[in-house]
Copies of this chain bind each other. A is one copy, B any other.
């Protein structure tokens, strides 16, 4: 295995699903927000992703069973939208740029097969004053401006590292539209409060006004 590998569990029937990413990262904001979305939409795992860029260990559970690191794709449908939700409890080493680019591009290829053209990435951004502030970045100025009214402030002049940034940037290059929601974190522990805020704003943006989301 020298390339990412997708393992299908079942074939979901989705129509232009919104692709939502929430992986382990700063304050685990994205991962926790993704879990909220998975629970609230009753989403089902339909695919797993294994990759040689993931850590070379297995995780052992309390019952003694083990599994290698993986990302999981969930499928969900609400009255207004179809979703593909990506989550996972680790990321490749930040220094391994080829790993990040290759994974992100394979993931976008995968989501495109199901018709995705809109992406929401979720993560944390380091701050020295904790709180529940949420920042937004987007593939266009129009999108960024529009959603600042929903509780998120414009994230101006900075960098978004890892999958949360790169997935949005590479999706934009493919002609997708999308946004990134960043909850502030001091970088210590799991930021459940701001992760909930991120989830609420996500719902507010996506579920409230699908028809006009671009």
Interface positions of A (Cβ within 8 A of B):
1-2, 7, 50-68, 92-95, 97-98, 100-102, 104-105, 136-141, 144-145, 148, 154-162, 165-166, 168-170, 172-173, 180
The answer to whether B169 and A66 touch across the interface, beta carbons within 8 angstroms, is yes
Q: Which residues of B contact A169 (CB under 8 A)?
A: 58, 66-68
Q: Which 10 A-B pairs rank lowest in CB-CB distance, beginning with the nearest? A: A64-B144, A52-B101, A68-B169, A56-B100, A58-B169, A58-B165, A1-B105, A64-B154, A57-B161, A52-B98
A-B contact pairs, 8 of them (CB 8 A): A1-B101, A50-B170, A50-B173, A56-B94, A60-B155, A61-B156, A65-B141, A66-B160
Considering the chains assembled together, what is the distance between the CA atoms of A97 and B159 in angstroms? Answer: 25
Complex: chain B residue closest to A70, CB-CB: B173
Considering the chains assembled together, what is the distance between the CA atoms of A1 and B101 in angstroms? Answer: 6
Known: A52-B97, A58-B169. A63 touches B141 (CB 8 A): yes
Interface class of chain A by DSSP? mixed
Considering the chains assembled together, what is the distance between the CA atoms of A58 and B50 in angstroms? Answer: 24
Known: A59-B159, A173-B7. A139 touches B97 (CB 8 A): no
Chain B: minimal CB distance from A50 (Å)? 7
The answer to whether B57 and A157 touch across the interface, beta carbons within 8 angstroms, is no
The answer to whether B101 and A138 touch across the interface, beta carbons within 8 angstroms, is no
Q: Which residues of B contact A66 (CB under 8 A)?
A: 137-139, 160, 165, 168-169, 172, 180
Q: Which residues of B contact A172 (CB under 8 A)?
A: 66-68
Known: A63-B141, A64-B138, A172-B67. A161 touches B105 (CB 8 A): no
With most chain B CB atoms within 10 A of its CB, the pick from A56, A58, A60 is A56
The answer to whether B98 and A53 touch across the interface, beta carbons within 8 angstroms, is yes
Q: Which residues of B contact A144 (CB under 8 A)?
A: 63-65
Known: A66-B137, A137-B66. A56 touches B97 (CB 8 A): yes
